[in-house]
């Protein structure tokens, strides 16, 4: 959407068959559209940590950003406050905070490569991308095993899986699988 107002209008239109619990504008304004205990229709088909029907087991937060510019400081601050509250109320670990691109690799790209996951991780609001020692060999099967343990369980090809893991932990990375691509082993 081209603006938070347009996104809000679409998310509140029953004919669109899409909704979210929250929307945060670029200026940090926050709207709640669906109570947290109720199901919203934000995720669509996908899988995370072996669980399907993500809509029924998640709280959806939409951010006013088309992906072509960094997320604003007021928007990130609003997100941080909202996440801290949600995680406390629902006992959600940092590893349970994901983007659409994590649960629907190849189908969804948001929040995109400009989203500051590191900022959230430093506050305990998302899993850290630091996995410790990189592997001694670049084995695609070992990469897939670690990606599954980190929560990336959707059935996708190796290239799509690598792109999804990179969007989450190393958005600037390109090229073939590298030691730095191996995700953290923190279980989802």
Just list the catalytic residues. 62
| Distance of alpha carbon 63 from alpha carbon 51, whole angstroms | 24
The two three-digit tokens of residue 82, written as one number: 């909202």
**By three-state DSSP, how is residue 23 classified?**
strand
Bridge partners (DSSP) listed for residue 24: 30, 63
For residues 178 and 98, what is the distance between their CA atoms, to the nearest angstrom?
22
Alpha helices per DSSP H over 106-173: 117-122, 140-150, 158-169
Cα–Cα distances (Å) from 166 to 69, 73, 76, 113, 138, in that order, read: 18, 23, 21, 9, 15
């Amino acid at each position: 959407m081209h603006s938070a107002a347009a996104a809000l209008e679409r998310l509140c239109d029953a004919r669109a068959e899409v909704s979210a619990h929250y929307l945060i504008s670029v200026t940090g304004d926050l709207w709640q559209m669906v109570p947290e205990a109720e199901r919203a229709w934000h995720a669509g088909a996908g899988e995370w940590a072996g669980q399907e029907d993500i809509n029924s087991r998640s709280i959806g937060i939409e951010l006013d950003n088309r992906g072509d510019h960094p997320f604003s400081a007021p928007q990130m601050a609003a997100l941080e406050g909202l996440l801290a509250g949600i995680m406390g109320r629902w006992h959600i670990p940092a590893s349970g905070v994901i983007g659409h691109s994590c649960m629907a690799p190849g189908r969804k790209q948001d929040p995109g490569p400009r989203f500051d996951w590191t900022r959230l991780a430093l506050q305990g609001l998302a899993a850290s991308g630091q996995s410790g020692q990189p592997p001694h060999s670049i084995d695609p099967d070992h990469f897939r095993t670690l990606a599954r343990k980190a929560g990336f369980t959707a059935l996708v090809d190796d290239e799509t899986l690598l792109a999804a893991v990179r969007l989450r932990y190393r958005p600037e990375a390109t090229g073939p699988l590298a030691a730095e691509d191996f995700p953290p082993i923190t279980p989802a």
